[in-house]
Amino acid sequence: MCLRPLTAATTIGVLVALLVAPASALAHERRTIAGGKYEVVVGWDTEPAFVNERNAAGIRISKAGTNPAEPVTGAEQTLQLQIRQGAQTQQFPLRAVFGQPGYYVADIVPTRAGDYVWVFSGTLGADPINETFDSADGKFDAVTAANGIEFPIAAPDPDQVNAQLQAAEASTQRALTVAYIGVALGVLGCILAVLAWVTRPRHRTSVLSTRDAAVRRAPGAGL
């Protein structure tokens, strides 16, 4: 009879371990904010995060010291997210995830590999919030290139494609510039040729015409 409770407890323990283990393996940063009033867990909604794959920046908010955790609702109306990658920054709206109270995401398709900085700002209740999370700290994942999992044909690297496009545009611009210069020189040459023809000397023709008239007027010059 004692084996049944023991077996049930063991089964429950195994199930809990299976449920908790994947969550603990995820790269998320946990932090207490607003003077210890709230506990947040921040990370990518789908991990690992790959370039050009739809994802979301996620934040889970609960009241600190509650067990089980008491979710904080309505934060999508008072919090906003700014994402920075390299020299580029953009504001993203947060939305509440249906069926998961206290969990909010900002949809994003990361288009460059590397570290990302997330800044949550606004208010929770009456408390001002301004919290920065950086994947460079190693507490949540950076974005990685997807060529290692693309099959059967790997998509070209966006940075390389961009560099090639810029090089092609620069080459086309140089060719157009040379063509414009050639056309301009051709037009200029035509104009100079016309001017040279119009302004050519005419005095020799005039002299010959005068002599011819004199000969014709001379006696015995013929009819």
What pLDDT is stored for residue 175 in this prediction? 80
Residues 75 and 40 in one domain: yes
Confirm whether 104 is domain-assigned. Answer: yes
Q: What is the arithmetic mean of pLDDT over 63-82?
A: 96
User: Amino acid letter at 38?
Assistant: Y
| Structural domain ending residue among the three candidates 154, 181, 203 | 154
Q: What is the CATH number of the domain that holds 37?
A: 2.60.40.10
Instruction: Please report whether residue 45 resides in a domain.
Output: yes
**DSSP secondary structure of the chain:** -THHHHHHHHHHHHHHHHHHHHHHHS--EEEEETTTTEEEEEEESSSSEETTS-EEEEEEEEETT-SS-EEPPSGGGTEEEEEEETTEEEEE--EEPTT-TTEEEEEE---S-B--EEEEEEEETTEEEEEEEEGGGSSSPPEE-STTT--SSPPPPHHHHHHHHHHHHHHHHHHHHHHHHHHHHHHHHHHHHHHHHHT---HHHHHHHHHHHHHHHSTTS--
- Give me the amino acid identity at 46: T
Average pLDDT over residues 21-30: 63
Percentage with pLDDT > 90 across the chain: 53
pLDDT tens for 106-143 read 999 999 999 999 999 999 999 999 999 999 998 999 99
Cis peptide before 68 (omega within 30 of 0): yes
For 174-218, write each residue's pLDDT tens digit: 888 888 898 988 898 889 888 888 887 765 555 555 555 565 565
Whether the per-residue pLDDT at 24 is higher than 60: the answer is no
Residue with tokens 């974005």: 143
Q: Which domain holds residue 96?
A: 26-154
pLDDT at residue 42, rounded to an integer:
97
The amino acid occupying position 6 is L
Taking only the tens place, the pLDDT of each residue in 38-47 is 999 999 999 9
Pair 150, 176 in one domain: no
Residue 172 and residue 83 in one domain = no
| Same domain for 140 and 171 | no
| Maximum alpha-carbon separation in the chain | 160
Give strand pairing partners of 56: 107
Can you say whether residue 71 is alpha, beta or left, with left for phi > 0 and alpha for psi between -120 and 50 degrees? beta
Give the pairing of strands 29-33 and 49-50. unpaired
Domains held by the chain: number: 2
Is 18 part of a structural domain of the chain? no
Q: Residues 66, 56: contact at Cβ < 8 Å? A: no
Are residues 47 and 105 part of one domain? yes
On the question of pLDDT at 167 being above 80, the answer is no
Same domain, yes or no, for 52 and 93? yes
Q: Mean pLDDT check: name the lowest of 118-122, 151-155, 161-165.
A: 161-165
pLDDT on residue 216: 59
159 belongs to a structural domain: no
Check whether residue 40 and residue 101 sit in a common domain: yes
Considering the domain boundaries, does residue 96 fall inside one? yes
Pair 143, 209 in one domain? no
* 14 pLDDT tier (thresholds 50, 70, 90): very low
Q: Quick one: 77 and 119 in the same domain?
A: yes
